[in-house]
Amino acid sequence: MGLRVRARLVELIVCPDCKGALNVASRQADGDEIIEGSLHCKACPREYPIHGGIPRLLPRPEVVSDAAQRTVDRFGEQWNEFDFLGPHYEQQFLGWISPNGPEAFQGKLVLEGGCGKGRHSALCAQWGAKDVLAVDLGSAVEAAYRNTRDYPNVHVIQADLFHLPVRPASVDVAFSVGVLHHTPSPAQCFQELVSTVRPGGKVIAWVYGRENNGWIIHGVNPLRQALTSRLPHKVVYQLAKVPAAVIFAVGKGVYRPLQKGPLKVVGEKLFYAPYISHIAAFPYGEIHSIVHDHLTPPIAHYIEKSEFERWFRDLGLDAVTIGWHNQNSWRGTATIPLAPAQAPSARAG
């Protein structure tokens, strides 16, 4: 990510406080890459550091709730621990963003709201995105920077999704996968994401579903809220190994074999069959990460389809498609109207 690219980035981002334009000052460079420096708002007194190659466009501390800060801190620890990338991520991501494919990102200015370790931003870069703004509030940006540093079209930014340092109506595609439901107000966070997309552009989201997840809502969630989200990261890391090993063994030894042939009718009736059969194809490290993901965050919402549809409807979005994914989560995509109009009703996808 060179100085030329950094200069282009400054044209794409703004002060998260007042949306004013920014000036960049470099203090340390590695070749033509800015490693240490600062960004100065032209319209207000705010100044933001560039540290470790990452612009730190953080909101004022008082605007982030304690639960929200603890959630991003926990995910920061998680993604810096599980910082690997794997070939299975492409099909996983395509499942979450369907019916969109790689062509939806080609030549586009893309915003990822909640980039985690950068796995999806890296894929968008590989698929030919013009530029990807990979935003996360926590220390996960360190892992994202490591995983995307070789992509000159990816810009990792530390910032809050409720105070995005992006000009309104400026990006072609904004997406958020597995993040909105970990924020204090998922609907408001979705609205902030939509506000960054130009007319005719696209928004994509994937969230936990409330339907078919009663065992998590009433079983895992109380355990997470009372205990595991409060335990040190290393303890949760070790605890997650046991259920991960069970899911890995049962998934590969029972669920996957029963998804084909004459016994498929039996496999389809197994507990949580679509989801466990799906993740059983992943390596153990990924399943460990998934289990850890469910045990660590202080905030986790499970969204009913009717609520998810309302997010799109209330903003008057066009071409809305809501899809069921693995019978336990919802994926949605829509376009921003070219002119104010009543949005069509969401349809099953």
What pLDDT sits at residue 11? 87
What pLDDT sits at residue 30? 72
The pTM score is 0.93
What pLDDT sits at residue 34? 82
Helices (H) and strands (E) in the chain, counts: 14, 12
Q: What is the DSSP string of 224-274?
A: IIIIITTS-HHHHHHHTHHHHHHHHHHIIIIITGGGSGGGHHHHTTSTTHH
What pLDDT sits at residue 141? 97
What pLDDT sits at residue 164? 97
Q: Is the CATH number of domain 61-209+304-348 3.40.50.150?
A: yes
The domain ranges of the chain are 1-57, 61-209+304-348, 230-295
Per-block mean pLDDT, blocks of 10 residues, the chain (349 long): 62 94 83 84 95 93 92 97 96 98 98 98 98 97 96 95 96 98 98 98 98 96 96 98 97 93 90 95 97 97 98 97 97 90 45
Distances (CA, A) of 48 to 14, 28, 39, 268, 282: 11, 15, 5, 53, 40
What pLDDT sits at residue 344? 47
pLDDT tens per residue, range 62-85: 889 999 999 999 999 999 999 999
